């Protein structure tokens, strides 16, 4: 027992040291009855089995959190995923959310941008600016971040196949603001395997896609060390219908594939692993979700230390963003979605997320209105400042139920991973449609339970309220599309087209041979080559993926 008391004293020392460096929050908290709230709670007499298994917050295996202080030192980043219409319209929403207290930006791109087409491409017809913001060139990116200092804000970008292009644009905008690449902070999703599994916005086949990803790893390790080079996503796997266990397992299997690809490309594990990030779904089963986040941290720490031999603590520490489950939002009785979102967000906070997006109540019907986006943000602020759940570390740690669920989720997820390994790893499992079939089966089973009323969704298959009045929804002025096309036409006239041609030829040559593609993509972006032109150049070398 004595060694655990010594370990506890060391942990307290680290806490004090961290709090002195980042005094964002006070270090003394009480309940409403003025009872002291300790930094964290442990079993009586420091039960050795418990401490050996869970460790202390900020220590391996990080079940209780990756920071010694967790939210006692710094709250999670509050993001609202936003993007619609033109860059100018989305910039207005970004600035509104920042004024309301949002602490990070999260960009939604429209479908043409996500699959590498310009707004004037015939393939883009009817989709420009519909599910996100339309970005065709560096000019649009400049408008998107107008009057927003990229030195002072971190930005998450949900972009995958063309991730290298949008990252290059972000860096180019920063440089125009006088901000060096080494100073930018944020995340690109850049997770192509889950696109093949669950989401569908892929462009290139797996092998060249993995090359683009590892080129980004290498570029950022040298030039943008504070930028997260990938957000390995379980979110979309869950939205496609997976269970919590499958979300954990398939996300980890994909992460293993990315790490192995980077190692094969000659990168050192501790050079790129600290900038790997994750993106999880916050779903309805409250305690299972909290346990899922705790299990994920422990699994990643074990994989990095035991399988890949990482030496740095930061390589072992899983940092993740959570978005509450869009698939659980209902068009029926949309006001109920406010409660769903609050509970899902609370589970994520109790599970120790580093970043959080709360959905708006009307997202099953339309793009969020300003009012519903504000309510979603206020939900996070109420959780942070009114509930007390951020005042102690891992509040549910030690719960018989939560600890048992954490163990079961980890065990079942590793069982899936072992099977995927026998299939040859995640890339091979994707090609064999294994994970896709498992998700389809889980989604089908869930739908049957819903139809049989074995599972209840309030307002959908139980507790309907008859005729409901349609709520006010947001609409986008369609005239922006014509303006977007005209601006793109003018750009192509006014830019240095010879510079564009040479930059695209250099990109093609590098893609056909060896070398890091990020540098050529950055040059093409600075010449105002468009997303479509860059992606079509790569299509000409790599081809396109089709099922």
pLDDT of residue 463: 95
Q: What is the DSSP string of 312-352?
A: SHHHH--EEEEEE-GGG--SSSTTHHHHHHHHHHHHHHHTT
* pLDDT tens digits, one per residue of 221-276: 999 999 999 999 999 999 999 999 999 999 999 999 999 999 999 999 999 999 99
User: What pLDDT does 18 receive?
Assistant: 81
Predicted pLDDT of residue 27 = 77
Q: Rounded distance, CA 262 to CA 267, Å?
A: 6
Mean pLDDT, residues 521-542 taken together: 98
Report the predicted TM-score, pTM, of the whole model to 2 decimal places: 0.94
All residues at 6 or more sequence positions from 501 whose CB lies less than 8 Å from its CB, including other chains: none
- At 456, give phi and psi (nearest 5°): -110, 130
pLDDT at 1 over 80: no
Alpha-helical (H) ranges within 200-321 are 206-223, 235-239, 244-264, 269-272, 286-302, 313-316
Query: What is the pLDDT at residue 478?
Result: 77
**Contacts with 48 (C-beta within 8 Å, 6 or more apart), sequence order:** 1, 4
Mean pLDDT of 16-33: 81
Mean pLDDT of all residues in 116-125: 97
Residues 6+ positions from 505 with CB-CB distance below 8 Å: none
Per-residue pLDDT tens digits for 317-366? 999 999 999 999 999 999 999 999 999 999 999 999 999 999 999 999 98
C-alpha separations of 338 from 115, 248, 363, 524, 543 in Å: 32, 26, 11, 44, 44
Report the alpha-carbon distance of residue 504 to residue 535 in Å, rounded: 10
Determine the Cα–Cα distance for residues 444 and 220; give it in Å rounded to an integer.
41
Q: 226 with 174: CB under 8 angstroms?
A: no
500 near 469, Cβ under 8 Å?
no
How high is the pLDDT of residue 509?
A: 98
pLDDT at 3 over 70: yes
Is residue 28 pLDDT above 80, yes or no?
A: yes
Q: Kindly tell me the burial class for residue 68, based on how many C-beta atoms sit within 10 Å of its own C-beta (0-12, 13-18, 19 or more).
A: buried
User: How would residue 103 be classed by pLDDT, with cut points 50, 70 and 90?
Assistant: confident
Percentage of residues in the chain having pLDDT higher than 70: 98
Q: Is 24's pLDDT higher than 70?
A: no
Which residue(s) pair with 77 in the sheet? 355
* CA proximity to 129, closest of 184, 85, 96: 85
Q: Could you tell me the maximum CA-CA distance found in the chain, to the nearest angstrom?
A: 75
Write down all domains in the chain, each with its CATH number in brackets: 70-451 (3.20.20.240)
Return the DSSP state at 462: B
Find where tokens 């400049």 sit. Answer: 142
Residue 471 predicted with pLDDT over 80 = no
Q: How far apart are CA 317 and CA 485, in angstroms?
A: 45
State mean pLDDT over 483-493.
Answer: 97
Distances (CA, A) of 255 to 258, 296, 408, 430: 5, 12, 21, 13
pLDDT for 415 equals 98
Mean pLDDT of 504-511: 98
Mean pLDDT estimate for the chain: 94
Helices (H) and strands (E) in the chain, counts: 22, 11
Instruction: Work out the average pLDDT over 293-304.
Output: 98
Does the pLDDT of residue 106 top 70, yes or no? yes
Mean per-residue pLDDT, 203-213: 96
Q: Around Cβ 423, how many Cβ atoms within 10 Å?
A: 16
pLDDT confidence bin for 100, thresholds 50/70/90: very high
Alpha helices in 119-188 (DSSP H): 138-144, 163-176
* Each residue's pLDDT tens digit, 404-450: 999 999 999 999 999 999 999 999 999 999 999 999 999 999 999 99
SS3 string, 236-247, reads HHHHCCCCHHHH
Return the percentage of the chain with pLDDT > 90, whole number.
86
Q: Using the predicted structure, report yes or no on whether residue 22 has a pLDDT greater than 70.
A: no
pLDDT digits (tens, 9 = 90+) for 81-96: 889 999 999 999 999 9
Dump strand ranges (E) for 342-433.
355-357
Neighbours of 418 (CB within 10 A): 11
Quick one: pLDDT at residue 82?
86
Sorting pLDDT into bands at 50, 70 and 90, what band is 55?
Answer: confident
Asked whether the predicted pLDDT for residue 379 surpasses 90, the reply is yes
Confidence of residue 16 (pLDDT cuts 50, 70, 90): confident
166-196 residue pLDDT tens: 999 999 999 999 999 999 999 999 999 999 9
């Amino acid at each position: 027992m004595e060694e655990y008391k010594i370990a506890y004293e060391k942990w307290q020392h680290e806490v004090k040291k961290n709090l002195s460096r980042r005094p964002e929050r006070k270090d003394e908290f009480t309940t409403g009855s003025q009872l002291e709230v300790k930094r964290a709670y442990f079993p009586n007499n420091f039960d050795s089995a418990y401490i050996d298994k869970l460790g202390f917050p900020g220590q391996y295996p990080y079940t209780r959190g990756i920071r010694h202080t967790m939210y006692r030192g710094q709250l999670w980043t509050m993001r609202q995923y936003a993007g619609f219409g033109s860059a100018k319209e989305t910039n207005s929403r970004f600035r509104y959310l920042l004024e309301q207290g949002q602490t990070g930006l999260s960009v939604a791109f429209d479908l043409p941008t996500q699959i590498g087409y310009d707004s004037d491409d015939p393939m883009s017809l009817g989709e420009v600016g519909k599910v996100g913001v339309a970005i065709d060139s560096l000019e649009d990116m400049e408008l998107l971040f107008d009057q927003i200092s990229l030195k002072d804000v971190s930005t998450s970008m949900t972009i995958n196949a063309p991730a290298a292009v949008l990252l290059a644009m972000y860096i180019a905008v920063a440089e125009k603001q006088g901000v060096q690449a080494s100073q930018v902070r944020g995340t690109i999703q850049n997770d192509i395997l889950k696109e093949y599994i669950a989401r569908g916005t892929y462009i290139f086949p797996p092998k060249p896609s993995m090359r683009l990803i590892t080129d980004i790893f290498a570029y950022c390790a040298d030039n943008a060390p504070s930028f997260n080079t990938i957000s390995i996503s379980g979110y979309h796997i869950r939205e496609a219908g997976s269970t919590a266990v499958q979300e954990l397992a398939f996300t980890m299997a994909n992460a293993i594939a990315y790490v192995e690809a980077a190692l094969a490309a000659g990168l050192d594990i501790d050079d790129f692993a600290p900038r790997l990030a994750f993106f999880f779904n916050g779903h309805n089963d409250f305690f299972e979700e909290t346990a899922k986040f705790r299990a994920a941290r422990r699994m990643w720490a074990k994989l990095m230390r035991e399988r890949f031999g990482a030496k740095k603590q930061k390589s072992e520490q899983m940092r993740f963003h959570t978005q509450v489950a869009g698939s659980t939002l209902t068009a029926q009785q949309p006001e109920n979605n406010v409660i769903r979102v609050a509970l899902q967000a609370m589970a994520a906070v109790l599970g120790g997320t580093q970043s959080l997006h709360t959905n708006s109540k009307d997202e099953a019907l339309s793009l969020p209105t300003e009012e519903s986006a504000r309510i979603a943000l206020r939900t996070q602020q109420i959780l942070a400042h009114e509930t007390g759940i951020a005042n102690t570390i891992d509040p549910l740690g030690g719960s018989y139920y939560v600890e048992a669920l954490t163990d079961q989720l980890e065990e079942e997820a590793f069982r899936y991973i072992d099977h995927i390994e026998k299939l040859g790893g995640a890339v091979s499992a994707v090609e064999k449609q294994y994970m896709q079939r498992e998700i389809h089966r889980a989604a089908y089973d869930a739908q049957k339970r819903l139809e049989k009323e074995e599972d209840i969704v309030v307002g959908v298959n139980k507790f309907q309220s008859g005729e409901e009045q349609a709520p006010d929804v947001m609409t986008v002025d369609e005239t922006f599309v014509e303006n977007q096309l005209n601006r793109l036409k003018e750009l192509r006239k006014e830019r240095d087209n010879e510079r564009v041609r040479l930059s695209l030829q250099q990109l093609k040559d590098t893609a056909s041979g060896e070398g890091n593609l990020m540098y050529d993509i950055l040059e093409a972006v600075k010449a105002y080559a468009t997303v479509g032109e860059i992606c079509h150049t790569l299509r000409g070398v790599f081809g396109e993926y089709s099922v």
